[in-house]
Amino acid sequence: MNNKLFTRPLGRFFGLILPLLMLASLAFAQAPEVAPAMADDLRASGKIYVVVAVVAIIVVGLLGYLINLDRKVSRLEKEIKN
C-alpha cells in the first residue's frame, strides 16, 4: 500500500479498527426482546458503572499497549533498514 495514510502507525491503526467498529455497530442496531435480569439488578444497585469502568480501563490499556508495541516495531524496522 502506497497510501500515506497507512504508512503512519496511527493511520494503520485507524485503518484497521474503523471498519471493525462499523461492523460492530450493526450488531448493536438489533434491540433485544427481553433484557437480562442480571443487567437490571446491576443497574438498580449502581454496580453497572463499575463494570463499565473496568471494561473501559481494560480496553484503554490494550489500545495503549498496542500503540506502544507498534511504535517499538516501527523503530526496529527503521533500524533494520539503516
pLDDT in tens, 28-57: 666 666 666 777 787 788 888 898 999 999
Q: What percent of the chain has pLDDT over 70?
A: 71
Q: Assess contact for 71 and 9: CB atoms under 8 A.
A: yes
Q: Is 5's pLDDT higher than 60?
A: no
> What is the value of pTM for the model shown?
0.51
Which cell is 81 given?
533498514
